[in-house]
Amino acid sequence: MSKKVLVAYATKMGATATIAAVVGAELRTAGHQVDVREIGAAPAVSEYDAVVLGSAIYRGRWRPEAVRFLRDHERQLRNRQVWLFHSGPIGPSKNQNQPLPPDVARLAHLIHPNPPKTFAGDLQAEAVAGIGAHREDLEHLIGDSRDWPEIHAWSDGIATALRTAVVQP
């Protein structure tokens, strides 16, 4: 059965937005009705059967607007199927799973989402210049480490879980 799904994301430099778009496209291909929205522009959670929420990680933290979204919608999210992902690790540590930051973990404890997923991220040279960092300090991290087959596979798992899930009244 087709479900209504919100894919909401918080990004600074765009890498997480593209991951969210790919997740959304995969769910749509599987027959679900999907809206992919930047988290600040996300419609009411009450309109959806399920929510996929992703944030970029910076210095071990989620983007503040993503934490705010979890906090503000905690009660509604509790009653829905929720998947969390974050995009971060780049360079030599691109395959390292990242724990949820403590504030996000506390909220997740209340919401009971599916197990969170870490996706490797992307750091472009222009972005390094944009944040005022010295290129030579971050040179070893520059590049796109996003693993598209892994992102597709994770999305497929969600599509399957949604097909068999019972919608909460």
Ligand X SMILES: Cc1cc2nc3c(=O)[nH]c(=O)nc-3n(C[C@H](O)[C@H](O)[C@H](O)COP(=O)(O)O)c2cc1C
Which residue in 90, 100, 111, 158 binds ligand X (CB under 6 A)? Answer: 90
Return the number of the residue (15 or 52) whose C-beta is nearest ligand X: 15
Please choose, out of 30-38, 45-53, 54-62, 73-81, the segment that lies near ligand X by the rule CB under 6 A.
Answer: 54-62
Which residue in 6, 11, 22, 62 binds ligand X (CB under 6 A)? Answer: 11
What are the tokens at 7? Answer: 């894919």
Which residue in 21, 110, 129, 131 binds ligand X (CB under 6 A)? Answer: 131
d(CA 73, CA 112): 13
Determine, following the binding rule CB under 6 A, whether residue 52 of this chain makes contact with ligand X. no
Determine, following the binding rule CB under 6 A, whether residue 20 of this chain makes contact with ligand X. no
Those residues with Cβ within 8 angstroms of residue 131's Cβ, 6 or more apart along the chain or in another chain: none
Please choose, out of 26-34, 41-49, 51-59, 108-116, the segment that lies near ligand X by the rule CB under 6 A.
Answer: 51-59
Which residue in 1, 21, 47, 58 binds ligand X (CB under 6 A)? Answer: 58
User: Exposed, middle or buried, 168 (CB in 10 Å: 0-12/13-18/19+)?
Assistant: exposed
Which residue in 48, 53, 85, 98 binds ligand X (CB under 6 A)? Answer: 98
DSSP secondary structure code for residue 96 in this structure? -
Whether 132 and 106 have beta carbons less than 8 Å apart is answered as: no
User: Please, how many CA atoms are within 13 Å of residue 112, restricted to the half-sphere of its CB?
Assistant: 6
d(CA 85, CA 52): 8
Determine, following the binding rule CB under 6 A, whether residue 148 of this chain makes contact with ligand X. no
d(CA 168, CA 129): 47
Determine, following the binding rule CB under 6 A, whether residue 54 of this chain makes contact with ligand X. no
Site residues for ligand X per CB under 6 A: 11-16, 56-60, 87-90, 98, 121-123, 131
